[in-house]
């Protein structure tokens, strides 16, 4: 089925960042699952600047299965979502599936996503039936899901699950985007015409550690919020208006009191309390404006979002693949 250089129907994209412990098992399960699928496929790994043996393992896997494997090697860590976009530019399949390298998304579930796309979906979102992560991550995700649902027009139930399917039309649209910070499932959703959601299994991370520290998670969620909504800004301008009106009423009240009761100096600490609270609110507002401004600054500088150091498997594949234009530059602006 998978004759050398067959144009793949299904492309599986896997970002890899320091996953040397997970890769051997991933290779075994992933390729077995894909072979069982009975469709021409390709696996496009993207090494996101790993500093362990991941790249060496990817090279070995490429040598083992060169006809169905590509490895996009990034010069340095660009983050999971940029890495996925870098890999998308090198996919050829009509269906593109993303998957984590740590086996938290079972490769055996890929068939379900393919079936959903066969039924006409161009975007297959997923809901982890029983998510296996630490408690604080699950609680934080629930909160962010709810916040995003309220403030954006992106309707995805489980934004954190990266086992997802995108039709070629959606991937082509993604490949035309040049945003410097983004969240792939949300961005893809904006291009989808027939989005569906299905349930998938989820597993604990049994080897290696999560690549997301609390700080990185917060930054990622700011990418999502700032990239797809200006609601936080509006929230602060509206609160500003309400607070200003309340203050005005308060000043009028104090002025009237001054005339009726005479001079008073009580309640200094209440005043401190109110002032500190408002300073806190103002600082949060300033910070949120900063999150937007910083991203605008990154965007206007137009530096490359990532740098591709090498692509294993491209030469032969690209030459035999006329249907998809390859990007002219290795770095996207």
Of these, 50, 69, 98, 104, which contacts Mg ion (CB under 5 A)? 104
Other CB atoms within a 10 A radius of the CB of residue 251 amount to 10
Considering the complex, state which of residue 42 and residue 47 has its C-beta at the smaller distance from ligand UDP.
Answer: 47
Q: Give CA–CA dist 114/14, Å, rounded.
A: 16
CB of 82 to ligand UDP, least distance (A): 8
Please tell me the distance from the alpha carbon of residue 165 to that of residue 249, in angstroms, as a whole number.
54
Cβ-based nearer residue to ligand UDP, 58 or 225: 58
Residue 23 vs 192, nearer CB to ligand UDP:
23
**Which span (204-212, 256-264, 266-274, 313-321) binds Mg ion, by CB under 5 A?**
204-212
Structure tokens at 120: 């006409």
Residue 162 Cβ, how far from Mg ion at the closest point, in Å? 8
Instruction: State which of residues 19, 20, 47, 102 lies at the interface with Mg ion (CB under 5 A).
Output: 102
Minimum Å gap between C-beta 105 and Mg ion is 8
Closer Cβ to ligand UDP, 159 or 229, answer by number: 159
**Judged by CB under 5 A, which stretch of 62-70, 94-102, 147-155, 246-254 contacts Mg ion?**
94-102
Cα–Cα dist 128/122, whole Å: 20
- Closest distance between ligand UDP and the C-beta of residue 228, in Å? 19
Closer by beta carbon to Mg ion, 48 or else 102: 102
Instruction: Return the one option of ligand UDP, Mg ion, none that residue 145 interacts with (CB less than 5 to 8 A, by type).
Output: none
Distance CA 156, CA 145 (A): 8
Contact 26, 57 (CB under 8 A): no
What is the smallest separation between the CB atom of 104 and Mg ion, expressed in angstroms? Answer: 4
Name the minimum Å distance from CB 328 to Mg ion: 34
Query: One symbol per residue from 280 to 299: x for binding Mg ion (CB under 5 A), - otherwise; what is it?
Result: --------------------
In 3D space, the residue among 94, 119, 97 whose CA is nearest the CA of residue 108 turns out to be 97
Q: Which stretch, 9-17, 29-37, 101-109, 151-159, contacts Mg ion (CB under 5 A)?
A: 101-109
199: which residues sit within 8 A by CB, 6+ positions away? 126, 127, 128, 129
- Is the Cβ–Cβ distance between 84 and 184 less than 8 Å? yes
CB of 321 to Mg ion, least distance (A): 31
Q: What strands lie across the sheet with 308-312, from one edge to the other?
A: 195-200, 123-128, 164-167, 95-98, 10-16, 41-47, 69-74, 308-312
Q: Transcribe 90-146 into DSSP letters.
A: T---SEEEE--TTSSS-GGGHHHHHHHHHTT-SEEEEEETT--S-HHHHHHHHHHHH
Chain contacts with ligand UDP (rule: CB under 6 A)? 15-17, 19, 48, 77, 79-80, 83, 100-102, 104, 210-212
Cβ proximity to ligand UDP, 132 vs 257, nearer residue: 132
Residues making contact with Mg ion (CB under 5 A): 100, 102, 104, 205
């Amino acid at each position: 089925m998978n004759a050398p250089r067959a144009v793949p129907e299904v492309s599986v994209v896997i970002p890899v960042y320091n996953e040397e412990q997970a890769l051997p098992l991933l290779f075994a399960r992933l390729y077995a699952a894909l072979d069982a699928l009975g469709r021409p496929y390709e696996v496009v790994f993207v090494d996101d600047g790993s500093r362990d043996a991941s790249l060496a393992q990817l090279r070995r896997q490429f040598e083992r299965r060169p006809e169905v494997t590509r490895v996009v090697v990034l010069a340095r860590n660009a983050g999971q979502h940029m890495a996925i976009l870098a890999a998308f530019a090198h996919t050829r399949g009509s269906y593109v599936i993303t998957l984590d390298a740590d086996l938290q998304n079972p490769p055996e579930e890929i068939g379900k996503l393919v079936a959903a796309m066969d039924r006409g979906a161009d975007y297959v979102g997923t809901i982890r039936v029983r998510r296996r992560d630490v408690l604080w991550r699950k609680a934080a995700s629930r909160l962010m899901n709810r916040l995003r649902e309220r403030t954006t027009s992106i309707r995805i139930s489980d934004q954190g699950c990266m086992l997802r399917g995108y039709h070629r039309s959606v991937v082509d649209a993604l490949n035309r985007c040049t945003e410097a910070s983004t969240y792939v499932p949300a961005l893809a959703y904006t291009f989808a015409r027939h989005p569906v959601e299905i349930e998938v299994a989820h597993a604990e991370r049994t080897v290696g550690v999560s690549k997301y520290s609390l700080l990185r998670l917060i930054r990622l969620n700011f990418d999502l919020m700032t990239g797809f909504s200006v609601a936080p800004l509006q929230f602060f301008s509206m609160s500003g208006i309400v607070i200003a009106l309340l203050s005005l009423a308060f000043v009028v009240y104090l002025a009237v009191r001054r005339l009726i009761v005479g001079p008073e100096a009580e309640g200094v600490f209440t005043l401190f309390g109110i002032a500190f609270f408002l300073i806190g609110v103002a600082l949060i507002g300033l910070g949120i404006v900063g999150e937007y401004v910083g991203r605008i600054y990154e965007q206007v500088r137009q530096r490359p979002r990532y740098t591709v150091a090498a692509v294993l498997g491209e030469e032969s594949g690209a030459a035999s693949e006329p249907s998809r234009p390859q990007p002219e530059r290795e770095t996207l602006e």
